[in-house]
Structure 1
Amino acid sequence: MQRIMTIAAATLMASPALAATGKPFFSLANTDFIVTIGFVLFIGILVYFKVPSLLMGMLDKRAEGIRNDLDEAKALRDEAQALLATYERRQREVQEQADRIVAHAKDEAVLAGEQAKADLEKSIARRIAAAEDQIASAQAGAIKEVRDRAIAVAIEAARDVIAKQMTDKDAAKSIDDAIAEVGQKLH
């Protein structure tokens, strides 16, 4: 408080009102003196009601609030940086996992392609073998048919030749021989 009073007195002494001419300074007719008294009274009332300490207290509270806000902001920034680092780490892990999945899928695709190629080659080989079997079967059937036809033609030709050359006596003997031969095969 002493300090404020000293500052106020120094301010009054250095004022331009002291340089004014014509009227004494310490007179109620001098407006500068009245303004100075009003100013001193105003300062005195402010000091009496402890306004400077209230203002200082409010400023201290405000400074403390700002400090707390700054500390909270710093804590939030640190937390955000930690979260960012966590998310970046997770992103790297996910990217690595995705790269592994893609590489694995490529390997499986290559293996599946090779397996499909091998299966196709086996299928083609089976079809070729089946076609060759069908050709062989058709060839054997054709040969059998030709033989059967040749046998039928030979039998017909033999029957015609035998029928022309055979007598009744030879026919009876041939029938008896055939019956005897069938009897031997059945027993």
Structure 2
Amino acid sequence: MAENTVALTEVQHHEPILLGFTAEGWVYWGLTIFLLLAIFVGKAPKRIAEALDARIAETRRQLDEAKAIRAEAEALLAKAKAQQAASAGDAEAILAHARQEADDLIAEAEKTATELTARRARMAEDKIAAAERSAIAEVRARAAEAATGAAARLIAEQHDVKADKALVDRTIAGLNRVH
């Protein structure tokens, strides 16, 4: 049988090395040097502190502004609640006044209706009384007419020239007397 032989080869991967540092090492050293230069030469901490102080001051200013706005909003809310309470009271007063006016108008209308009814009743009674008086006057006029007519007939039937002469004489004799 044939022997199987496997040849293993080891692949070595070598990174370039310069002064004992690989590329990754040089990146770390470069970053460290840059940061040290930025800190000591560029006065980065002072600038960072100033930037942070400015940000803190801006944040405080915004907080103070927010507190002022909140206080103003609370004052406006309190004012609105007071106005709402006042307008609720005003609404009640207006409703009470309107109810009072309505009651007064109803009472006035009832009084006016009662007076108008009484006045019309008096007018009707006056018309009835006038009609009664007119009817009574008419009845009296007819009765007087009838009585006059009847008296004229009776006189015409019962009186003749002799009776008239005696009546005229008596009347003339009565004229001579003084009352």
Comparing 53-62 and 63-72, the one that deviates more: 53-62
Comparing 27-36 and 99-108, the one that deviates more: 27-36
Give the AA of the match of 1:157.
Answer: A
Give aligned-pair identity as a percent. Answer: 38
1:49 — aligned with what?
A: 42
1:135 — aligned with what?
A: 128
Is 1:86 the counterpart of 2:93? The answer is no
**Structure with greater contact order relative to length (CA < 8 Å, sep ≥ 6):** 1
Deviation of 1:33 after TM superposition, in Å, equals: 4.3
Deviation of 1:162 after TM superposition, in Å, equals: 2.2
What is the correspondence of 1:91-170 to structure 2 with a 5 Å cutoff? 91-167=84-160, 170=164
Deviation of 1:43 after TM superposition, in Å, equals: 1.0
**Counterpart-to-counterpart distance in 1, 2:31 and 2:125:** 127
**Counterpart-to-counterpart distance in 1, 2:160 and 2:43:** 167
Q: TM-score, normalised by structure 2?
A: 0.74
1:29 — aligned with what?
A: 20
**Counterpart-to-counterpart distance in 1, 2:155 and 2:67:** 127
Give the AA of the match of 1:120.
Answer: A
Deviant stretches of 4+, over 6 Å: none
**Counterpart-to-counterpart distance in 1, 2:38 and 2:161:** 170
Cα distance per residue 1:130-161 (max 9 Å; x no partner)? 21121111111111110110101111122222
2:14 — aligned with what?
A: none
Is 1:68 the counterpart of 2:69? The answer is no
2:7 — aligned with what?
A: none
**Counterpart-to-counterpart distance in 2, 1:33 and 1:105:** 94
Give the AA of the match of 1:70.
Answer: L
Deviation of 1:78 after TM superposition, in Å, equals: 0.5
Give the AA of the match of 2:19.
Answer: L
5+ residue gaps in structure 2?
1-17
Q: TM-score, normalised by structure 1?
A: 0.71
Give the AA of the match of 1:104.
Answer: H
Deviation of 1:36 after TM superposition, in Å, equals: 3.5
For the aligned residue pairs, the C-alpha RMSD in angstroms reads 2.7
Deviation of 1:168 after TM superposition, in Å, equals: 5.3
Deviation of 1:123 after TM superposition, in Å, equals: 1.5
**Counterpart-to-counterpart distance in 2, 1:75 and 1:64:** 16
